[in-house]
Amino acid sequence: MRAESWFPCWSAATKLDQRRIRGQADLLHIRGEFYLCLVAEQPEEPLLTPEGILGVDFGIVNLATTSDGVTYSGDEIEETRRRYTGLKAVLQRVGTESAKRHLRKLSGREARFKRQVNHKIIKELVAVAKGTMRALALEDLRGVSSRVTVRRGQRGRHGKWAFGQLRAFVDYKARLAGVPVLVVDPRNMSRRCPVCEWVEKGNRVSQSVFRCRSCGRGENADLNAAKNIHWRAAVNQPIVVCPPKGVGD
């Protein structure tokens, strides 16, 4: 479609929006295609007074686990990641101009896929927190990619996921819904036993298994971490009583 045919739609959309809410539109030309981007201002809801806390642990195998025991598995995401990785490897070996164009398209599709999954997860978490009048509590994920050490078999899985994007989505979706967000210190969240409070590196048996070497309690490691995040937010509240302004705008 030629650029000229987009402008009548743009003008009509802008005039229509002005009757209800102030907005703007951008016409973008990306890789030979035109995109019309409409931006509208959405008012934030008043910050609710939480009656409890929902702890959330973001991970590698399970993208998110809540202190309620709800898990957002990454199995389907991992299958998709491997498919994209395999296709890219084949195209890189071919090395033709056609293969390079296909590579660029694949990169765009993978980025959109990650964004869609992250949107869905955070939207559901915020909805649960709001519906139960609870604040969201999570670890400070800034710099997680550079701090965290993972096993060789999980490096691709860890490095390919957008952890920073997950946090940014929490910030602006929670702010719009009026849900407070509490950010806790991540130290020992995967090593502490919520029952006897024993902290030891050996408590984390594997990526998925937690077993306290003091009281013998065993549990899924991600769920254990989510419960510890809930505990730390309750003890230290408030660290951050609401999402910071400007993130995700």
If asked whether residues 113 and 25 sit together in one domain, one would say no
CATH number at residue 82: 3.30.420
If asked whether residues 23 and 132 sit together in one domain, one would say no
What is the rounded CA–CA span in Å between residue 47 and residue 37?
29
Number of domains forming the structure of the chain:
2
The answer on pLDDT for 248 being more than 50 is: no
If asked whether residues 37 and 48 sit together in one domain, one would say no
In a domain, 241, yes or no: no
The answer on pLDDT for 159 being more than 50 is: no
Over the stretch 167-208, which tens digit does the pLDDT of each residue have?
788 888 999 999 999 999 888 999 999 999 999 999 999 888
If asked whether residues 28 and 147 sit together in one domain, one would say no
In a domain, 243, yes or no: no
If asked whether residues 37 and 49 sit together in one domain, one would say no
If asked whether residues 48 and 133 sit together in one domain, one would say yes
Count CB atoms within 10 A of the CB of residue 236: 13
% of the chain residues with pLDDT over 90:
32
Of residues 178 and 91, more confidently modeled: 178
pTM here is 0.68
In a domain, 242, yes or no: no
pLDDT band of 118, cuts 50, 70, 90:
confident
If asked whether residues 86 and 49 sit together in one domain, one would say yes
What is the rounded CA–CA span in Å between residue 183 and residue 242?
9
For the chain, the farthest-separated pair of C-alpha atoms sits apart, in whole angstroms, at 71
The answer on pLDDT for 245 being more than 70 is: no
% of the chain residues with pLDDT over 70:
73
In a domain, 69, yes or no: yes
In a domain, 246, yes or no: no
If asked whether residues 127 and 212 sit together in one domain, one would say yes
pLDDT band of 23, cuts 50, 70, 90:
low
The residue range of the domain holding 152 is 44-236
Over the stretch 41-66, which tens digit does the pLDDT of each residue have?
777 788 899 999 999 998 877 889 99
pLDDT band of 215, cuts 50, 70, 90:
very high
Out of 77-91, 126-140, 155-169, 202-216, least confident range = 155-169
What's the per-residue H, E or C state across 5-43?
Answer: HHHHHHHHHHHHHHHHCCEEEEEEEECCEEEEEEEECCC
In a domain, 14, yes or no: yes
In a domain, 7, yes or no: yes
Strand pairing category for 33-40 and 23-30: antiparallel
